[in-house]
Amino acid sequence: MAPSMISQPTTPPIAPFGYTKAGKPRKRPVRNKKEGVCPVKECQRSFKHRPNPKDAIWQHLAYYRSPMCAEPSSSPFRQAHITMHQKMKAESQSKRLSGINIF
């Protein structure tokens, strides 16, 4: 056999999103595992199945602020949700204000 007829090993295609456990290239990027989960440690309720998980988390946290909530107002579980809602609201406002350019 002539040396020109020996096939060279082919390099595998580059997978921009990595590989699955089976070794196949991923078609889409891997989602953040914390995305779509309630940020309160004691709760950890998942909203990944919802069309817009971020809005669902805001609705979930706002529910615990409303008087319609079944939890007693002195409940630490409810207070943790209220605190997290206030913290997230303050963060979103600071992000919004930091984006304003004043000349």
- Residue 36 in this model has a pLDDT that exceeds 90: no
| pLDDT tens by residue, 89-102 | 998 888 777 765 55
Q: What percent of the chain has pLDDT over 90?
A: 23
- Residue 68 in this model has a pLDDT that exceeds 80: yes
Which whole-number Å values give the CA distances from 89 to 30, 42, 61, 85, 86, in the listed order?
Answer: 27, 20, 11, 6, 5
- Residue 48 in this model has a pLDDT that exceeds 70: yes
Q: What is the pTM of this model?
A: 0.59
CA dist 56 and 48 (Å) reads 9
- Residue 66 in this model has a pLDDT that exceeds 80: yes
For residue 102, give every residue at least 6 positions away whose Cβ sits within 8 Å of its Cβ, in sequence order, or none.
none
**What does pLDDT average to over the chain?**
80
Minimal CA–CA distance to 81: which of 39, 18, 25, 49? 39
Q: What is the pLDDT of residue 87?
A: 93
